[in-house]
């Protein structure tokens, strides 16, 4: 975490060195207006939530949350560690006894209240997301609707956690299967969807009767805290949902080491996911992981050009390329290559970059300086190995962490940009000849989250969907996420599924009850 804070500081410093006016350490007008609006409706919480009480760090430490578009400080937030994490685990453990014994209908109605409050505050929450994460306001408000949809869906599913009766192998026995909540859940979430990555975990956990300790990203804790405030208002009892943030390693280790925590659910980088999986072994916790992707987006000769353009732009440039299901490699068949690449480049050239609060902006800043340097270094590596920049390829003249939407061609699957997630607005284009070659290139990676194909052939749609080693396949569609469908990856992109009826399984234990002497 502290490295990250240094990254933010570096960002501001670099901005200064680029000779662009800076507003570091003071609030700009937009930040000020939004902050005062959020304060007036009680949605600017800056302390952790433990046992239903807003709590300072025990040693009084805080860290700053910045607006990535301006460098403005939005707020100082409690910087917590081991002690607070342990207190939060203990609160969640005690609350579990009561919460898990409520009727499903009771839990459902409280989740429904929470959903209603999230929707009532869609505008304010959207503004808060834009403020601390940077995505354009329209996209941020879209995230509130998407994030809230998990709470609504699981308010409904809470009532459908059925068990089973198994036909017995002996006449005097009766065999039952009960589904019971796993217990206290530790949920660690990233900054790219500050609300939705939390609700996608907390919704099913609470529906099943689990209680939760959430550790949001240090970049975007304010949205998590605002959502938690609304959860309190909705009648979710103290201790059922706790939020602690600050020292990621200390909080993470406390969650891993505690025998009271029965499950770790994580969304974030593959590297941290592997550490958590290893750390969970000591206490044999259930683990679900939503990790990084390396999505191929395959455009076949027989694709509808307009559909392919719209779909690939959406999947590549949503959230400035900072989503785990963003296309990381655009594979284009040779027959449509020239036409597609030129139309795609034109469209990318016209994407409006700027502060997410500015009307018409579709590309906000990247989250931090490290993200800019990653994009730059991947592009340099590709150029050194023969790739060509068609559009963009460098920092945007707006400074800070704004980056030019970029298209590079003549990319091969050996370049860094095709091997790893760039997590920025850079679209590498790879030319291929045959369907077999496209499948081979697409599957030649350790990741396996999302893949996209564009084709008008029904046979090819099935054939390629089945051959792709990915948990999610979009066919002629670039935006695939929804609360009603299972989301998750093959290979090193993760374990388990979120959303849909399958998302509940991650928070349930299966208990077999064998009753004898029943003849």
Residues in the chain, total? 519
Cα–Cα distance measured from residue 212 to residue 151, given in angstroms and rounded to the nearest whole number? 14
Question: Site for ligand NAP (CB under 6 A): which residue of 140, 324, 415, 418?
Answer: 324
Binding-residue pattern over the window 456 to 495 for ligand NAP, x denoting contact by CB under 6 A:
---------------------------------x----x-
Select from 67, 149, 192, 242 the one that contacts ligand NAP (CB under 6 A). 192
Q: Please state the closest distance from residue 481 (CB atom) to ligand NAP, in A.
A: 9
**Radius of gyration, CA atoms only, the chain:** 24
Quick one: tokens of 372? 């800019």
Catalytic residue among 139, 290, 483, 506: 290
Q: Is 249 in the site for ligand NAP (CB under 6 A)?
A: yes
In this structure, what are the phi and psi dihedrals at residue 127, rounded to the nearest 5 degrees?
-65, -40
Min. distance of Cβ 157 from ligand NAP in angstroms?
A: 19
* Residue 204 CA to its chain's centroid (Å): 16
| Cα 49 to Cα 215: distance, rounded to the nearest angstrom | 11
As a dihedral over the C-alpha atoms of residue 98, residue 99, residue 105, residue 111, rounded to 10 degrees, the angle is 150
Give least dist CB 165 to ligand NAP, A: 35
Q: Is 449 in the site for ligand NAP (CB under 6 A)?
A: yes
* Exposed / middle / buried, residue 450 (Cβ in 10 Å: 0-12, 13-18, 19+): buried
Query: Per rule CB under 6 A, is residue 267 in the interface with ligand NAP?
Result: yes
Distance of closest approach, residue 299 Cβ to ligand NAP, in angstroms: 22
Cα 26 to chain center, whole Å?
A: 29
Residue ranges with strand state E in 305-386: 327-333
- Which residue's Cβ lies closest to ligand NAP? 252
Cα 210 from Cα 241, distance rounded (Å): 10
CA distance 158 to 335: 50
Tell whether residue 426 is a contact of ligand NAP (CB under 6 A): no
Segment interacting with ligand NAP, rule: CB under 6 A, options 144-152, 155-163, 175-183, 245-253: 245-253
Residue 290: active-site member? yes
From 64-72, 135-143, 269-277, 347-355, give the range in contact with ligand NAP by CB under 6 A: 269-277
3-state secondary structure of 498: strand
Question: Which residue number, 253 or 456, has a Cβ lying nearer to ligand NAP?
Answer: 253
- What is the distance between the alpha carbons of residues 133 and 319, in angstroms, rounded to a whole number? 10
**Minimum separation from the CB atom of position 363 to ligand NAP (A):** 18
Active site residues: 290
Which residues bind to ligand NAP, rule: CB under 6 A?
1, 4, 188-192, 197, 215, 217-219, 248-249, 252, 267-269, 272, 275, 290-293, 324, 421, 423, 449, 489, 494
């Amino acid at each position: 975490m502290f490295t990250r804070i240094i990254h933010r500081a570096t960002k501001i410093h670099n901005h200064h060195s680029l000779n662009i006016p800076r507003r570091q350490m003071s609030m700009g007008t937009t930040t000020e207006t939004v902050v005062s609006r959020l304060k007036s409706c009680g949605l600017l919480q800056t302390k952790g939530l433990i046992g239903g009480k807003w709590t300072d760090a025990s040693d009084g430490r805080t860290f700053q949350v910045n607006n990535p578009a301006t460098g403005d400080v939005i707020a100082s937030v409690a910087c917590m560690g081991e002690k607070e994490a342990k207190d939060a685990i203990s609160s969640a453990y005690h609350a579990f006894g009561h919460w898990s014994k409520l009727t499903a209908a009771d839990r459902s109605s409280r989740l429904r209240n929470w959903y209603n409050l999230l929707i009532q505050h869609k505008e304010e929450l959207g503004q808060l997301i834009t403020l601390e994460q940077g995505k354009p306001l329209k996209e941020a408000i879209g995230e509130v609707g998407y994030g809230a949809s998990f709470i609504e869906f699981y308010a409904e599913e809470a009532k459908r956690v059925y068990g089973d009766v198994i036909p017995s192998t002996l006449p005097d026995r009766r065999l039952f299967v009960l589904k019971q909540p796993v217990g206290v859940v530790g949920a660690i979430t990233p900054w790219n969807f500050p609300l939705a990555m939390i609700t996608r975990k907390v919704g099913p956990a609470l529906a099943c009767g689990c209680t939760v300790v959430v550790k949001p990203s240090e970049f975007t804790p304010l949205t998590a805290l605002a959502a938690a405030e609304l959860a309190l208002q909705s009648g979710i009892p103290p201790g059922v949902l706790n939020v602690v943030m600050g020292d990621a390693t200390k909080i993470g280790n406390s969650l891993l080491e505690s025998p009271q925590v029965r499950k770790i659910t994580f969304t974030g980088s593959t590297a941290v996911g592997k550490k958590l999986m290893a750390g969970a072994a000591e206490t044999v916790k259930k683990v679900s992981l939503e990790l990084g992707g390396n999505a191929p987006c395959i455009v076949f000769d027989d694709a509808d050009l307009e559909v392919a353009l719209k779909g690939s732009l959406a999947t590549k440039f949503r959230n400035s390329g900072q989503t785990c299901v963003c296309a990381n490699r655009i594979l284009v068949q040779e027959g449509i290559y020239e036409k597609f690449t030129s139309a795609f480049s034109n469209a990318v050239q016209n994407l409006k970059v700027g502060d997410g609060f500015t009307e018409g902006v579709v590309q906000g800043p990247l989250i931090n300086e490290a993200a800019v340097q990653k994009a730059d270094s991947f592009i340099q590596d590709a150029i050194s190995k023969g790739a060509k920049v068609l559009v963009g390829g460098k920092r945007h003249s707006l400074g800070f962490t704004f980056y030019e939407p970029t298209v590079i061609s003549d990319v091969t699957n050996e370049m860094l940009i095709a091997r790893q997630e760039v997590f920025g607005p850079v679209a590498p284009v790879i030319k291929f000849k045959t369907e077999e070659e496209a499948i081979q290139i697409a599957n030649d990676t350790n990741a396996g989250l999302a893949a996209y194909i564009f084709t008008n052939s029904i046979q090819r749609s099935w054939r390629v969907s089945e051959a792709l080693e990915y948990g999610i396949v979009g066919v002629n569609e670039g935006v695939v996420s929804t609360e009603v469908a299972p989301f998750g990856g093959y290979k090193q992109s993760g374990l388990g599924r979120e959303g849909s009826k399958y998302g509940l399984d991650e928070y349930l234990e299966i208990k077999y009850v064998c009753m004898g002497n029943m003849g």
